[in-house]
Structure 1
Amino acid sequence: MLLYKLWRSFIKEILLLKRDIGGIVIIFVMPLLLIITITLIQDSTFKNMEGSKIPIIFIDNDQSEISESIKKQLENSKTFELLTDFNEKSAETAVFGGDYQMAIVIPKNLTKDINSNIDSKVQSIVSSFGLETDSTAIKQNTSKAKDIRLYFDPATNISFKNNVMNAVNKMVFEIENKKIYKAFQDQLGTTEDLKNNSLIAFKEITPKKGNMDVLPNSVQHNVPAWALFAIFFIVVPLSINLVKEKSQGTSVRARISPTPYFIHILGKTFTYLIICVIQFLLMVAVGIYLFPYMDLPQFDVTGKMFPLIIVTIFAGLAAIGFGVLLGTVADTQEQSAPFGATSVVVLAAIGGIWVPVFLMPEFMQTIAKFSPMNWGLNAYYDIILRNSGIGGIAKEIIFLFLFYIAMVAISLFYERKQNAV
């Protein structure tokens, strides 16, 4: 009997959705448009290193060895296009006006002063060992540190600034090291070739599939992230339907009927859970079949579909629980619709859908740990990027299920309290 009542409740929810064409569009079409648009934008950003170069202004007031070396390394980076037809004043105006992202100004006599400084310091060190040196050169160590001036557009991302400054620092450091080796070689009168080879190098170890490196791409991040956003956006139509039932008297008839009220909630749960799974499958289908035709990487789910579906089911339960609570507490559609949409956007921002959690301030990273979207996203990433199984995502699944139980329990308690005689 209970199964029959649950079936009838399920049929009722399907009929309600069929009458709400706008809700169907929001549930299915909007997330697909989002994932295609955002993935295209982000993928073009990821491919920037291979595609168009960033134009930057390069002003060489040194016109000597070190400035030429810096210029050559910047050109060889395949990231920047150097513009040299500027003076410092016009470069400052162009960059601060937003025409270009940055300008690099090499000061006068950079090479001369660095050579003089290095020779003086090397001779001072050599003389401390009791070896003969040019004493007049030791006294010349009076030059101050030279500033390579960097102008940045005020709207430039801070990470871009840091990357450029680190790159320039590395270039200058390598040049100085080579000159120091050469100065010691000249002072000691040795003919041995003292090469400035790095004793430590970095080697990135990436996951492999066969003999191929598995590199993260925009599709692997965007498909699960925006699928999760779509799943939680069912909060809007679900809460609106609950409010409609209260205003039309449907909820009153449900309470006075012999069917327990929790069956009414379970009917909604099963209905919207099926919708969540369909949403996710549509997102995956776009990633597998459509993205390759748009010059985007194909979404690879080989051997991962079962755990991905499990995460989707529990993420759907968390979203349904939140929608049920919102629809139970709200009195009008004007309350439920905007609050539901806004709260989902906020949860997405906190959960790392838009900005990675590790880039957030420390207190926001702590808050993110309590976001159901963050639990779902971490579970998806564990499966897709870290090759985890069900055991590796058990904690996130438990958190999502407990969130659903808590939301539904609060809703039932609130509903009972509101209708107590």
Structure 2
Amino acid sequence: MTRLLALWRKETLALLRDRHGLAALFIMPAIFILVMSLALRDAFVPGVPADLGYAVVDLDDTPTSAAFEARLGTVDILREFGRLADEQTARREIAAGRIAFVIVLPEGFGAALDAAARTDAPSATTLRLLADPTVPLAVRNGFRQQVEAELSRQQLASVLDRLGRALMIPELRDIPERRPALEVATEAVRGETTLDPAPVLPSSVQQNVPAWLIFSMFFVVVPISAVFIAERQHGTLQRLATQQVSFGLILAGKLLPFFVVNQVQAVVMVLVGRYLVPLAGGEALVLPGNGSALFALWLMTAAVSVAAVAWALLIASLARTAEQATVFGGVGNILMGAIGGIMVPKFVMPAGMQALTQLSPMAWALDGFHRVMLRNGGSSDIVLPAAALVCFALAALVVAILLNRRARRAHC
């Protein structure tokens, strides 16, 4: 125990001397959380219009075309930019990136719609949709389907209006304009322990704070590798070995100081999400209100920290230079973050990529945080992801010890 305390003191002193490394561990994730929470705010908060917008070029200029334009304006789709004078102006606006879509209502639009309401024959008149080629195909198809749905509704309104006049039933004329009899409400389903009677949907900050916190925890590979390689080059590890200090005890001596660093990181990142992001115009991080959930959050933070430090010690054992450690650790962290839902949320990935996320320890960690922060889960809900992270840490430490024994035998 005396040796372990001495190793903890040595590692703490070495860690405090690396001020640039410590600054990177705190400044980098804080910037990521702030920037990504603001950049993705509209993608996570329902009801906020996107920056994409549409305009209308009405070449028909009839009450029917005006009614169709007004009908589109009542639908919560993209931002409406009103009318444009002609198609040339529309093409210039799209080319400049100011408008994503322009609906061109051709001459004879109203007459064609009225004729289609009387017969089933297809019309020769075509409504054209001009689109920015940089807009994703899914968005383009979704907007086109919405326009087609409003066209069908306009046609139905014309049919019912004509039928209502013929049968003298005025109620038929206003059926398309009526609101649904029952309003549909959306609610995020959470755990049974929720105390919030009206839970809200997750915001971007609730995705980005745990995601970039996990990413920054794994970046302790940089300062750990720097200290470890410096000790190897200066002969510190060799001197400890001659004093019968086992390599496993040396690794244990490095765990606690960097574990404490990770816990401080967690506190700082939570404060950034709770207080700094709202000051910049984003959503505030919402934490669970009960003690059981907060304790579960700390358990997840502890499991992530153990896994991150063990991963860093494995990289430090593999690398022979600081440059190698930076490449191995940096590339490994980026790959785990890319497939683990850190950089791109898992729910927007294709099905194949979503299955691939289970290979990343960062995905296990993010799943554990989300079980608590988004579903109000408790300690029992994070057993599997926390256990998986601890097993990953133990495996990394065992491999690091075996590599050290192999290196010693090679030098003997």
TM superposition score normalised by structure 2:
0.87
Answering whether residue 408 of structure 2 is matched by residue 419 of structure 1, we say yes
Write out aligned runs for 1:79-158 (5 A): 79-121=78-120, 141=121, 143-144=123-124, 146-158=125-137
Q: Distance in 1 between matches of 2:392 and 2:139?
A: 39
Find the residue that maps to 1:203 and give its secondary structure: coil
Q: Distance in 2 between matches of 1:69 and 1:82?
A: 16
Q: Distance in 1 between matches of 2:305 and 2:383?
A: 16
Residue of structure 2 in register with 1:218 after alignment: 204
Contact persistence 1:39–1:219 (CA under 8 A):
yes
Find the residue that maps to 1:103 and give its secondary structure: strand
Give how far 1:22 is off: 1.1
Contact persistence 1:57–1:86 (CA under 8 A):
no
Find the residue that maps to 1:298 and give its secondary structure: coil
Answering whether residue 171 of structure 2 is matched by residue 193 of structure 1, we say yes
Answering whether residue 310 of structure 2 is matched by residue 312 of structure 1, we say no
Give how far 1:307 is off: 0.8
Instruction: Return closer, same or farther for 1:318/1:173 CA change in 2, 3 Å cut-off.
Output: farther
Alignment equivalent of 2:221, drawn from 235, 241, 255 = 235
Mean Cα deviation higher: 291-300 or 310-319: 291-300
Instruction: Return closer, same or farther for 1:166/1:11 CA change in 2, 3 Å cut-off.
Output: farther
Give how far 1:8 is off: 1.4
Give how far 1:344 is off: 1.5
Contact persistence 1:70–1:171 (CA under 8 A):
yes
Contact persistence 2:262–2:305 (CA under 8 A):
yes
Instruction: Return closer, same or farther for 1:213/1:176 CA change in 2, 3 Å cut-off.
Output: farther
CA offsets, 1:126-181, max 9 Å, x none? Answer: xxxxxxxxxxxxxxx3534x543222222224443344223323322322332333
Instruction: Return closer, same or farther for 1:70/1:412 CA change in 2, 3 Å cut-off.
Output: farther
CA offsets, 1:371-417, max 9 Å, x none? Answer: 11111111111101111111112111111111111111111111111
Give how far 1:264 is off: 0.8
Q: Distance in 1 between matches of 2:11 and 2:374?
A: 36
Instruction: Return closer, same or farther for 1:171/1:51 CA change in 2, 3 Å cut-off.
Output: closer
Instruction: Return closer, same or farther for 1:53/1:360 CA change in 2, 3 Å cut-off.
Output: closer
Contact persistence 2:103–2:128 (CA under 8 A):
yes
Alignment equivalent of 1:180, drawn from 147, 150, 159 = 159
| RMSD of aligned residue pairs (Cα, Å) | 2.7
Contact persistence 1:75–1:82 (CA under 8 A):
no
Q: Distance in 1 between matches of 2:79 and 2:399?
A: 57
Residue of structure 2 in register with 1:331 after alignment: 320
Give how far 1:306 is off: 1.1
Contact persistence 1:97–1:153 (CA under 8 A):
no
Residue of structure 2 in register with 1:260 after alignment: 246
Instruction: Return closer, same or farther for 1:407/1:65 CA change in 2, 3 Å cut-off.
Output: farther
Find the residue that maps to 2:335 and give its secondary structure: helix
Q: Distance in 1 between matches of 2:116 and 2:72?
A: 25
CA offsets, 1:261-306, max 9 Å, x none? Answer: 1111111122211111110011112233334444433322222321
The percentage of aligned residue pairs carrying the same residue is: 26
Find the residue that maps to 2:161 and give its secondary structure: helix
Find the residue that maps to 1:62 and give its secondary structure: coil
Structure 2 stretches lacking a partner, 5+ long = none
Contact persistence 2:336–2:362 (CA under 8 A):
yes
Give how far 1:202 is off: 4.1
Structure 1 counterpart of 2:187, one-letter code: I
Find the residue that maps to 1:369 and give its secondary structure: helix
Give how far 1:358 is off: 2.6
CA offsets, 1:6-30, max 9 Å, x none? Answer: 2111111111112211111111222
CA offsets, 1:208-255, max 9 Å, x none? Answer: 855544232222122111111111111222222222222222222233
Q: Distance in 1 between matches of 2:267 and 2:8?
A: 21
Q: Distance in 1 between matches of 2:195 and 2:63?
A: 46
Mean Cα deviation higher: 289-298 or 48-57: 48-57
Find the residue that maps to 1:82 and give its secondary structure: strand
Residue of structure 2 in register with 1:33 after alignment: 31
Structure 2 counterpart of 1:13, one-letter code: E
Write out aligned runs for 1:14-53 (5 A): 14-43=12-41
Greater C-alpha Rg: 1
Alignment equivalent of 1:374, drawn from 363, 367, 373 = 363
Instruction: Return closer, same or farther for 1:52/1:97 CA change in 2, 3 Å cut-off.
Output: closer
Structure 1 counterpart of 2:243, one-letter code: S
Q: Distance in 1 between matches of 2:182 and 2:284?
A: 36
Structure 1 counterpart of 2:58, one-letter code: D
Q: Distance in 2 between matches of 1:358 and 1:51?
A: 20
Residue of structure 2 in register with 1:62 after alignment: 60
Residue of structure 2 in register with 1:138 after alignment: none
Find the residue that maps to 2:40 and give its secondary structure: helix
Q: Distance in 2 between matches of 1:165 and 1:241?
A: 58
Residue of structure 1 in register with 2:146 after alignment: 167
Q: Distance in 1 between matches of 2:371 and 2:133?
A: 37
Structure 2 counterpart of 1:205, one-letter code: E
Answering whether residue 258 of structure 2 is matched by residue 269 of structure 1, we say no
Q: Distance in 1 between matches of 2:182 and 2:262?
A: 50
